[in-house]
């Protein structure tokens, strides 16, 4: 069988179906095989089909902070197995930081708050799957500074919002993928202090803030597309208690956890959901989560988020060589708990105690892969805790065609 003629005769709809089942790394390589392949694989309908396929197989993403490096792993977001192995993706050296790490639509954002021999603040954007990253232009370093990554689903644009306190809070914005990668100063009508991590939902960045010297909560909303600010009364939250912001079925949710060790670490979860942004109407839900034989809640557990299928995911803040790392799924509709042991994170790189950032519904998005500037490839250090789970595919066009030819024949037989 002549593979060249066979591929030219494949209908476009079957061609798209075959390629949508590949990883984003293979897609990037296939775009270099021929002009025809590139023209199809850069089309908007293929990008959307790939995102749909990827959304059907979400993963848990783990960013492990080892002091001078962030190591990125992922595992299937599955509750059908009690034990899961992680896949190692890449590591990025970012200096010393305060664990300010966030995820949005396929990209990881790291805010570096302290660098040795440096007087600058630094933001790093990384794609764990493609192992590409970019250091954003440096800004003057201040004691209080925060930055967050937002994504506009309409224009398919990523933007970074940077805030620092210079007697008052000053705001800058940077748009990824533009010819001129630079910070632009923007005006914010609020002078609230920022605390906690931001959450981007449907193109709006939400972050908790408070008035100077006060404990009353505010939620600042930043529209990624229009770059306009507004605030919501966050009277249910305060700067004196820890609140996790989550995406609750497309709405903003705020979660507080209360542990009671006198009752075997009995966990109370208080959830507030913003039902109406304009009317600032909130709904409250209370859940009691007792420790079971297989699900043990600890003080160092937090809400990593809510999956697209409606389960809350609890994860530990830290991992160490002396104990395993666990995540717990809570289904509020069925009132069930399921614990999953994640193997491959403990004892990493000689560090006995490492901070873990856990993100739910991690998917591959070609929009993130196609951004300009995210082209630097970090020097890879071997993950000393375990070998890579799989070797990288060959980059040769002939081998790529052979691999896809087998995919095509398999699908043809299924038809």
Backbone angles phi, psi at 51, to 5 degrees: -65, -40
* Residues, the chain: 415
What is residue 403's DSSP assignment? H
State residue 383's pLDDT score.
Answer: 44
Architecture of the 57-369 domain: 6 Propeller (2.120)
State residue 22's pLDDT score.
Answer: 84
pTM, whole model, 2 decimals? 0.81
Please determine, for residue 237, whether its predicted confidence score (pLDDT) is greater than 90. Answer: no
Rounded distance, CA 283 to CA 274, Å?
A: 7
Q: Which residue has the tokens 């390629």?
A: 19
Nearest to 345 by CA among 61, 59, 128, 126: 61
> Between these two residues, 412 and 292, which has the higher pLDDT value?
292
Q: Which two tokens stand for residue 358?
A: 């856990």
| pLDDT tens track for 265-321 | 667 889 999 998 888 899 999 998 876 656 666 667 889 999 999 999 999 888 876
Backbone angles phi, psi at 101, to 5 degrees: -130, 135
CB-count exposure of residue 116 (10 Å: 0-12, 13-18, 19+): exposed
State residue 391's pLDDT score.
Answer: 34
Question: What is the domain partition of the chain in residue ranges?
Answer: 3-50+397-414, 57-369
Nearest to 346 by CA among 373, 366, 368, 318: 318
Nearest to 308 by CA among 16, 77, 120: 77
Nearest to 271 by CA among 259, 288, 283: 283
H/E stretch holding 186 reads strand 184-186
Rounded distance, CA 243 to CA 236, Å?
A: 10
Rounded distance, CA 144 to CA 100, Å?
A: 12
Q: Which two tokens stand for residue 344?
A: 């491959």
State residue 272's pLDDT score.
Answer: 93
State residue 156's pLDDT score.
Answer: 86
Highest mean pLDDT among 91-100, 326-335, 348-357, 397-406: 326-335
Nearest to 344 by CA among 58, 23, 64: 64
């Amino acid at each position: 069988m002549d593979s060249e003629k066979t591929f030219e005769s494949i209908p476009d709809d079957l061609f798209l179906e075959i390629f949508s089942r590949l990883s984003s790394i293979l897609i990037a390589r296939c775009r270099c095989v021929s002009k025809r392949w590139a023209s199809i694989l850069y089309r908007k309908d293929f990008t959307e089909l790939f995102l749909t396929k990827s959304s059907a197989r979400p993963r848990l993403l783990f960013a492990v902070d080892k002091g001078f490096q962030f190591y990125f792993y992922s595992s299937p977001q599955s509750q059908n197995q009690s034990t899961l192995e992680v896949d190692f993706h890449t590591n990025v050296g970012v200096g010393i930081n305060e664990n300010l790490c966030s995820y949005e639509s396929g990209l990881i954002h790291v805010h570096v708050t302290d660098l040795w021999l440096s007087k600058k603040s630094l933001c790093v954007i990384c794609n764990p799957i493609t192992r590409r990253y970019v250091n954003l232009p440096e800004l003057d370093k201040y004691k209080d500074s925060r930055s967050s990554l937002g994504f506009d689903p309409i224009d398919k644009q990523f933007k970074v919002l940077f805030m620092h306190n210079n007697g008052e809070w000053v705001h800058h914005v940077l748009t990824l993928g533009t010819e001129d990668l630079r910070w632009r100063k923007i005006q914010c009508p609020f002078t609230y202090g920022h605390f906690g991590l931001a959450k981007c939902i449907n193109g709006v960045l939400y972050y908790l803030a408070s008035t100077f010297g006060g404990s009353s909560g505010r939620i600042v909303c930043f529209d990624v597309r229009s770059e306009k600010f507004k605030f919501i009364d966050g009277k249910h939250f305060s700067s004196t208690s820890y609140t996790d912001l989550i995406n609750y079925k497309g709405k903003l949710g705020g979660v507080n956890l209360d542990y009671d060790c006198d009752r075997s670490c009995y966990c109370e979860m208080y959830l507030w959901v913003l039902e109406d942004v304009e009317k600032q109407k909130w709904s409250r839900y209370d859940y009691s989560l007792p420790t079971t034989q297989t699900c043990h809640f600890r003080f160092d557990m937090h809400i990593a988020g809510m999956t697209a299928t409606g389960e809350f995911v609890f994860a530990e803040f830290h991992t160490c060589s002396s104990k395993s790392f666990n995540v717990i799924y809570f289904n509020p509709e069925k009132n069930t708990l399921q614990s999953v042991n994640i193997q491959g994170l403990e004892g990493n790189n000689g560090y006995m105690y490492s901070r873990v950032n856990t993100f739910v519904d991690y998917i591959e998005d070609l929009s993130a892969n196609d951004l300009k500037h995210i082209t630097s490839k970090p020097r890879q250090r071997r993950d000393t805790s375990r070998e890579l789970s799989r070797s990288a595919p060959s980059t040769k066009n002939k081998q790529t065609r052979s691999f896809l030819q087998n995919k095509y024949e398999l699908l043809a037989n299924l038809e």
